[in-house]
Structure 1
């Protein structure tokens, strides 16, 4: 049941992240086209593209972690005896759970502190784009919690031919 929930959440977040990246590509294409054809593009297009890239990364980070596709060094974990390997995996899981939970909380607190400022291009409260941070860290926390203290999938690098 937990594995199914984790898989569903990973697919959902990767889908949303992919849609945001497509959105960014359209914004950038419009911005470049507008500069060459019209001579200028609205400043808020660049800002919206930047915030969308950050949102895509924050929303997709949990699914990347679940797949083991993030950059990590697992030499010690791979070569350790079984008992030590289990201890390392538990330590990594607890550390990740603690850090993501703390970052979700700290970023949530930060959202309230930047509400007085406005963004340069969109002229909206900075709390709006910054609000993606606790959402992203919260999703990562949930994914880590659902995964449990199990080994992450090993990603291999294919040989260049």
Structure 2
């Protein structure tokens, strides 16, 4: 059940990120096309594309962590005894869990503090683009917690 939940959340967040990147491509294409055809494009298109890029990146961080796609130096882990290796891996896991939880909490609190400000182009609450941070770090926290410290994260998971 845990493995199913991890796989489902990973696919869902990467799928949403991919759709957002595709949407960004369409918005940028339309912006460039309308500048050449009509002489200008709506200012809110650039702002929306920027927010979609942020959403795509932040929503995908948990899935990338699960798949082992983050840059990581594991030279020390390979050169020490198995007991010390487990200690180092547990330390890395607990620090990642604490930082992801803290970032989800602090970004949620910050989102509430800027909710009355409006974005310049779309004229929506600033909390709308910022909601991606607590959601993305929340998914990272959940996936790190579900994955546990001793389940190996490698690029070979992509080949399954």
Q: Please indicate, yes or no, whether the TM-score normalized by the shorter chain is above 0.5.
A: yes
Question: d(CA) in 1 for partners of 2:155 and 2:5?
Answer: 22
Count how many residue pairs are aligned between Structure 1 and Structure 2.
156
Q: How does 1:43-122 map to 2 (within 5 A)?
A: 43-122=43-122
Question: d(CA) in 1 for partners of 2:151 and 2:92?
Answer: 9
TM-score (norm 2): 0.94
Question: d(CA) in 2 for partners of 1:152 and 1:109?
Answer: 33
Question: d(CA) in 2 for partners of 1:5 and 1:39?
Answer: 49
Residue 151 (structure 1) shift: 4.6
Question: d(CA) in 1 for partners of 2:61 and 2:77?
Answer: 22
Question: Structure 1 unaligned runs (5+)?
Answer: 157-161
Partner of 2:131: 131
Residue 153 (structure 1) shift: 2.4
TM-score (norm 1): 0.93
State which drifts further: 87-96 or 146-155. Answer: 146-155
Q: Indicate yes or no: 2:18 matched with 1:18.
A: yes
Q: CA RMSD in A?
A: 1.2
Question: d(CA) in 2 for partners of 1:19 and 1:55?
Answer: 11
Instruction: List structure 1 segments (4+ residues) > 4 angstroms apart after TM superposition.
Output: none
Q: Secondary structure at the match of 1:27?
A: helix
